[in-house]
Protein backbone atom coordinates (compact mmCIF):
# COMPACT_ATOMS: atom_id res chain seq x y z
CA UNK A 1 0.00 0.00 0.00
CA UNK A 2 1.31 3.44 -0.94
CA UNK A 3 1.78 6.31 1.50
CA UNK A 4 0.70 8.72 -1.22
CA UNK A 5 -2.50 10.63 -0.50
CA UNK A 6 -4.97 10.53 -3.39
CA UNK A 7 -5.52 14.00 -4.93
CA UNK A 8 -9.19 14.01 -3.86
CA UNK A 9 -8.06 13.89 -0.23
CA UNK A 10 -5.90 17.00 -0.68
CA UNK A 11 -8.79 19.35 -1.49
CA UNK A 12 -8.94 20.79 2.01
CA UNK A 13 -5.17 21.34 2.12
CA UNK A 14 -4.52 22.80 -1.32
CA UNK A 15 -4.77 26.58 -1.38
CA UNK A 16 -7.43 27.90 -3.70
CA UNK A 17 -7.15 31.15 -5.61
CA UNK A 18 -9.56 33.86 -4.48
CA UNK A 19 -11.36 33.87 -7.83
CA UNK A 20 -12.06 30.11 -7.61
CA UNK A 21 -15.40 30.30 -5.79
CA UNK A 22 -16.89 26.90 -6.62
CA UNK A 23 -17.96 25.13 -3.45
CA UNK A 24 -16.88 27.94 -1.12
CA UNK A 25 -19.47 27.90 1.70
CA UNK A 26 -19.80 31.67 2.04
CA UNK A 27 -20.83 31.93 -1.64
CA UNK A 28 -23.12 28.89 -1.80
CA UNK A 29 -26.22 30.75 -0.64
CA UNK A 30 -25.80 33.67 -3.00
CA UNK A 31 -27.99 33.50 -6.07
CA UNK A 32 -26.24 33.89 -9.39
CA UNK A 33 -27.79 36.55 -11.61
CA UNK A 34 -27.98 34.88 -15.02
CA UNK A 35 -30.07 37.60 -16.69
CA UNK A 36 -28.43 39.44 -19.59
CA UNK A 37 -26.66 42.57 -18.42
CA UNK A 38 -26.59 45.74 -20.49
CA UNK A 39 -23.12 47.15 -20.93
CA UNK A 40 -22.70 50.79 -20.06
CA UNK A 41 -20.33 53.19 -21.83
CA UNK A 42 -17.50 52.40 -19.39
CA UNK A 43 -17.83 48.64 -19.98
CA UNK A 44 -17.80 49.08 -23.76
CA UNK A 45 -14.80 51.39 -23.61
CA UNK A 46 -12.79 48.99 -21.46
CA UNK A 47 -13.65 46.11 -23.80
CA UNK A 48 -12.61 48.22 -26.81
CA UNK A 49 -9.28 49.09 -25.17
CA UNK A 50 -8.62 45.41 -24.49
CA UNK A 51 -9.47 44.51 -28.08
CA UNK A 52 -7.16 47.21 -29.46
CA UNK A 53 -4.32 46.11 -27.19
CA UNK A 54 -4.85 42.53 -28.35
CA UNK A 55 -5.04 43.44 -32.04
CA UNK A 56 -1.80 45.41 -31.76
CA UNK A 57 -0.07 42.54 -29.95
CA UNK A 58 0.48 44.58 -26.79
CA UNK A 59 -1.50 42.33 -24.46
CA UNK A 60 -3.16 38.95 -24.77
CA UNK A 61 -6.35 37.67 -23.15
CA UNK A 62 -4.18 35.27 -21.14
CA UNK A 63 -2.22 38.20 -19.74
CA UNK A 64 -5.49 39.94 -18.89
CA UNK A 65 -6.66 36.87 -17.00
CA UNK A 66 -3.33 36.61 -15.15
CA UNK A 67 -3.65 40.27 -14.21
CA UNK A 68 -7.19 39.83 -12.94
CA UNK A 69 -6.31 36.71 -10.99
CA UNK A 70 -3.34 38.44 -9.36
CA UNK A 71 -5.45 41.24 -7.89
CA UNK A 72 -5.48 41.20 -4.09
CA UNK A 73 -8.53 39.30 -2.83
CA UNK A 74 -10.19 42.32 -1.21
CA UNK A 75 -9.75 44.34 -4.41
CA UNK A 76 -10.98 41.47 -6.60
CA UNK A 77 -14.23 41.10 -4.63
CA UNK A 78 -14.80 44.85 -4.34
CA UNK A 79 -14.48 45.67 -8.05
CA UNK A 80 -16.99 45.11 -10.80
CA UNK A 81 -16.14 42.86 -13.75
CA UNK A 82 -14.81 45.57 -16.07
CA UNK A 83 -13.13 47.49 -13.26
CA UNK A 84 -11.08 44.33 -12.66
CA UNK A 85 -10.15 44.49 -16.33
CA UNK A 86 -9.03 48.12 -16.02
CA UNK A 87 -6.85 47.38 -13.00
CA UNK A 88 -5.31 44.38 -14.74
CA UNK A 89 -4.74 46.26 -18.02
CA UNK A 90 -3.08 49.14 -16.18
CA UNK A 91 -0.82 46.81 -14.19
CA UNK A 92 0.22 44.89 -17.30
CA UNK A 93 0.96 48.05 -19.30
CA UNK A 94 3.08 49.36 -16.41
CA UNK A 95 4.79 45.97 -16.04
CA UNK A 96 5.67 45.97 -19.77
CA UNK A 97 6.90 49.57 -19.71
CA UNK A 98 4.22 50.71 -22.16
CA UNK A 99 3.24 53.47 -19.73
CA UNK A 100 4.64 54.63 -16.43
CA UNK A 101 2.58 54.73 -13.28
CA UNK A 102 3.18 58.48 -13.12
CA UNK A 103 1.91 59.02 -16.67
CA UNK A 104 -1.11 56.85 -15.97
CA UNK A 105 -1.96 58.82 -12.83
CA UNK A 106 -1.58 62.12 -14.72
CA UNK A 107 -3.84 60.86 -17.54
CA UNK A 108 -6.49 59.88 -15.00
CA UNK A 109 -6.80 63.46 -13.71
Largest Cα separation within the chain, whole Å, is 65
Tens-level pLDDT at each residue, the chain (109 residues): 455 555 554 455 655 555 555 555 665 666 767 888 899 999 999 999 999 999 999 999 999 999 998 998 889 889 999 999 999 999 999 999 999 999 999 998 8
pLDDT of residue 27: 58
pLDDT the model gives residue 33? 77
Count the helices and strands in the chain (H runs, E runs).
6, 0
Domains in the chain, CATH or no CATH each: 35-107 (1.10.472.20)
- Give the torsion through C-alpha atoms of 90, 95, 99, 100, to 10 deg: 100
Output the pLDDT for position 56. Answer: 97
Report how far residue 53's alpha carbon sits from residue 80's, in angstroms, rounded to the nearest whole number: 21
Number of Cβ within a 10 Å radius of residue 16: 11
Kindly report the pTM of this predicted structure: 0.71
Amino acid sequence: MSDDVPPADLSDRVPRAMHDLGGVPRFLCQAVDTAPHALDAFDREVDAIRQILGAKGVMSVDELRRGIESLPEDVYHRLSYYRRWVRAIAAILIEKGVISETALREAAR
